[in-house]
Amino acid sequence: MNAPAQTPSNQTPLKQLTESLRAEAAIEPAPPVTAAPTKKTEIIAIYGKGGIGKSFTLANLSYMMAQLGKKVLLIGCDPKSDTTSLLFGGKACPTIINTSAKKKLAGEELAVGDVCFKRDGVFAMELGGPEVGRGCGGRGIIHGFETLEKLGFNDWGFDYVLLDFLGDVVCGGFGLPIARDMCQKVIVVGANDLQSLYVANNVCSATQYFRKLGGHVGVAGIVINKDDGTGEAAAFAEKVGIPVLAAIPADDDIRRKSAKYEIIGRPGSPWAGLFTELAANVAKAPPISAKPLDHDGLLGLFKGDTVGRDVKLVSATVEDLMGPKAQEHKRSLEVIYDAA
């Protein structure tokens, strides 16, 4: 991967920033890997709409996996850096991007202990991302994984590595695990609402696209969060051909404990069975070539009054846009040819 071009030192700071961002945007991502996956570690990327409950699901899933004797690494790949907050009781986890930058300025080497932390057998870290308007989130993801490789990521002996990605950000960096076969399978988190299923459908489309280019990543299934029993997410799963790995109910006890950064997926808790089953299903679910729906197919999962399917498109007119001035609107000169 080529480094961004350097800008002359006599340029203004704004000009330098503009040129730097243009050079960064011009970098083409590496082509997808076409060889079969060989990693012994199961690397699973979890995608979903922002706020749908990925971090909640992953914190509890990783915790239960660890209690079942698995060695698990949870990596937050969201610029908000909120993936591990529930795992660590609301505490902020230093990010790889910020910490590596500080170490570099200080002339020091970045160590695993600077960015990787653990609780009750779960290992966790946050990639982080740039401040708003000061860089590309996708490039931050790429830089984060390059740093992980320098720290020896490929030699770490984990049973599972869980990657938490935003699904409603479509730039290349967030699609990195799918595009480059960095994971074996993808799990989507959704609910019984159109927006979260739209995002889940986009993820299915992405895996299908890169499979056509020789990739191997597939969708292992969907976790339905805040399930109110209306059934749209389950219907979506059936239509695209993926299993429902777990349905986490819209329960007030879960909501309250999650708001207080409590782990509910622990042995002996009322929800232990739910997350034990989810852990088992995640482990055995194979990567599937999902069949994404078109927009009408997505709308068809919902009642018409829910998605506005009975609304008719009415074309606007010049009078609508210009009012009384529409009569003064001059048409461009047209040349009309006689029929031959």
Active site residues: 49, 54, 80, 168
How far apart are alpha carbons 139 and 174 in whole angstroms?
Answer: 9
- DSSP-derived letter for residue 131 is P
Q: Give the SS3 label for residue 57.
A: helix
E-strand ranges in the chain read 42-48, 72-76, 117-119, 122-126, 160-166, 185-190, 218-227, 244-249
Distances (CA, A) of 6 to 10, 11, 17, 24, 29: 12, 11, 11, 11, 19
CB-facing half-sphere around the CA of 81: CA atoms within 13 A: 18
Strand order in the sheet with 218-227: 117-119, 122-126, 72-76, 160-166, 42-48, 185-190, 218-227, 244-249
Give yes or no for a contact between 73 and 124, defined as CB atoms under 8 angstroms apart.
yes
Residues facing residue 125 across a β-bridge: 75
Among candidate residues 117, 158, 166, 162, the one with its CA nearest the CA of residue 137:
166
Among candidate residues 45, 12, 319, 16, the one with its CA nearest the CA of residue 179:
45
Give yes or no for a contact between 83 and 74, defined as CB atoms under 8 angstroms apart.
yes
Q: Which amino acid is at 69?
A: G
How far apart are alpha carbons 137 and 171 in whole angstroms?
Answer: 8
E-strand ranges in 141-201 read 160-166, 185-190
Among candidate residues 28, 40, 124, 31, the one with its CA nearest the CA of residue 83:
124
